[in-house]
A and B are shown apart, each in its own frame.
Chain A
Amino acid sequence: MNRSARSAVLILAFFAFFPRGATGAEKWGTGALMVIVEREAGGVTVVDSVRHNVLGRVAGLGVMHHASISFSRDARFAFVVTRDGWLNKVDLLDLKVANRVRVGSSTIGLTVTQDGRRVAVSNYDPTDVRIYDVETLAELAVIPALREKEGTTIPSRTVGLVNAPGNLLVFSLMDADGIWVVDAGRPGFPVVKKFWDVGRMPFDGVLASDGRTYVAGLFHSPWMARLDTWKLDGVSRVSLSEPGKSYDKHPVLKIPHLKGWSEAAGMIFAPVVGEKRLAVFRAADGTFVRSVPLAGTPVFAVARPDGREIWVNFSGDDADTIQVVDAGSLSVAATLKPGKRIFHMAFTPKGEAAYVSANKSDQVVVYDTSSKKELERLSIPRPSGIFGTDRAHKFGL
């Protein structure tokens, strides 16, 4: 056997002993994964949204009711925060927990800062925001959410935490009617702005896709609180009321989630608390456009990445329904029944497919968004939140 032949044999032998996919990096990229919360099983399922196949699951993360996920800037790691306050750093290449730390007793949300160096969490209990190093998960700061008012100190749950340009963090104080701004690029992470009496009981917040406008929803006020993060000069009101018309109020069985608030065609589509409609207003100036009547009380209103459609799910008796609102006609264009108790929806990065979690059916249904036909049904135990790794590169998330 000559030298070339021996080399060929050695190469063949190498590949025989080390099959393709021996390391995670050779198996898949992380640019278009869906990380899906298993609400009762304490883990996540990771799906390749190009081929719509399950790559694997990661268990032992904590209480996954209302678990939320953000991503490292390179989309290699998912930061999974659980209801019972565990911050897990999950490696999406080998599908293992790289690190975890307890950040609270009741945690509601998280975000990775613009510079990608910090991950911040918002807590209900204790009432604070905490900041961690993304590499080590070492705690860097605890920011108590307190308001001094009329001689008393009011501790507040924190909600609507987002990252914003300028390496800012913005969040709302649910029990103190405030919005705070933290400079995450300065030593000590100072709170640089505190806005009070923005409206009664902020329950969530969202940042516009360009990173400029922060909007907080208010449980007890018929408007939204709007903050211009370029100016940071005050909070204005965006009315959710339709001039000259009122709508019936219904029991709120699930609070609308604003991280799903939609921007499309220059408009914002906002679910109204306890009313069967989306309020549509101009993104530029907050002018009310019209209401879109719906089948039930909305929870999420999520825009397809191209902005042409908004997919809406509901609470209560209509939880099995999705309605698709056309952004051109501002009317319902399709009604879907994917399964029992629809919890969440997410689009692939360019929006050709939609992932829908049917919690009570133990399935995630994948739709072709053009034809509205099913592409796949994935068996996942009690799925809830669906988080695409494309969120790694979006402001706010």
Chain B
Amino acid sequence: MTRLLLSILLLPAAVLAGGTWWTDPDRIALGETVFDAKCMGCHHPEVKAFGPSFRWIASRRTPAEIYAYIVSPAALSRERGYASNSMPHIPLTREEIEAAAAYVYSFRSGRDGRGGDPDNGGAGK
């Protein structure tokens, strides 16, 4: 619970202020770079891998929830009652976390034309 509170306290000003920060193209572009460096070993944007696809995540979580999960995956996993957590805490700057969250959320079905069926890993066939 301590880490969960901490993660909420760590939410960036942009998150707390509301708005549509997650649609910022520069943030999304930086998020793709963060994904390529830190996340690609376990996640695929559109197909279930060791971790869930970003399309699956984006269809079920808000941008702020995604942000908080990146900050403190173990605490959020416990909060949700998952049997175990496999996602590590990855040292990232606030800017990188925000960008990664925006990039993940950019795969939300139907919002930006990426389309696909999240329950089918977005495979679409």
Where the two chains meet, the residues of A that have a C-beta atom closer than 8 Å to any C-beta of B are: 63, 65-66, 83-85, 102, 105-106, 124-125, 200-201, 203, 219-220, 251-255, 274, 315-316
What are 11 inter-chain pairs, A to B, with CB distance below 8 A? A63-B46, A63-B47, A65-B44, A66-B44, A102-B125, A106-B48, A201-B84, A220-B86, A252-B42, A252-B88, A255-B50
Do A251 and B91 have beta carbons less than 8 Å apart? yes
CB contact under 8 A between A254 and B86, given known A65-B49, A106-B121: no
CB contact under 8 A between A253 and B44, given known A83-B49, A84-B121, A105-B123: no
| A96–B113 alpha-carbon span in the complex (Å) | 33
* A124 partner residues in chain B, CB cutoff 8 A: 48-49
| A382–B63 alpha-carbon span in the complex (Å) | 31
Per the 8 Å Cβ criterion, residues 1-45 of B in contact with A are: 38-42, 44
| A141–B89 alpha-carbon span in the complex (Å) | 40
| A253–B92 alpha-carbon span in the complex (Å) | 13
Look across to chain A and name the residue whose beta carbon is closest to the beta carbon of B45.
A65
| A253–B40 alpha-carbon span in the complex (Å) | 8
Look across to chain A and name the residue whose beta carbon is closest to the beta carbon of B120.
A105
18 A-B pairs besides A84-B123, A252-B42, A253-B90 with CB distance below 8 A are A65-B44, A84-B47, A105-B47, A105-B120, A105-B121, A106-B47, A106-B48, A106-B123, A124-B48, A201-B84, A203-B50, A220-B86, A251-B89, A252-B41, A253-B42, A254-B41, A315-B41, A316-B38
Which of B89, B123, B125 has the most chain A CB atoms inside 10 A of its CB?
A: B123
Per the 8 Å Cβ criterion, residues 41-63 of B in contact with A are: 41-42, 44, 46-50
Where the two chains meet, the residues of B that have a C-beta atom closer than 8 Å to any C-beta of A are: 38-42, 44, 46-50, 84, 86, 88-91, 120-121, 123, 125
* A201 partner residues in chain B, CB cutoff 8 A: 84, 86
Do B42 and A254 have beta carbons less than 8 Å apart? yes
Shortest C-beta distance, A80 to chain B (Å), equals: 16
* A254 partner residues in chain B, CB cutoff 8 A: 41-42
Look across to chain B and name the residue whose beta carbon is closest to the beta carbon of A360.
B36
* A203 partner residues in chain B, CB cutoff 8 A: 50
* B44 partner residues in chain A, CB cutoff 8 A: 63, 65-66, 83
| A254–B125 alpha-carbon span in the complex (Å) | 28
Shortest C-beta distance, A395 to chain B (Å), equals: 25
Kindly identify which residue among B40, B48, B50 contacts A125, using a CB–CB cutoff of 8 Å. Answer: B48
* B40 partner residues in chain A, CB cutoff 8 A: 65
| A307–B120 alpha-carbon span in the complex (Å) | 43
* A315 partner residues in chain B, CB cutoff 8 A: 41
Shortest C-beta distance, B109 to chain A (Å), equals: 15
Shortest C-beta distance, A360 to chain B (Å), equals: 9
Do B84 and A220 have beta carbons less than 8 Å apart? yes
Look across to chain B and name the residue whose beta carbon is closest to the beta carbon of A39.
B40
Do B47 and A219 have beta carbons less than 8 Å apart? no
* B46 partner residues in chain A, CB cutoff 8 A: 63
| A279–B86 alpha-carbon span in the complex (Å) | 21
Do A105 and B90 have beta carbons less than 8 Å apart? no
Do A66 and B121 have beta carbons less than 8 Å apart? no
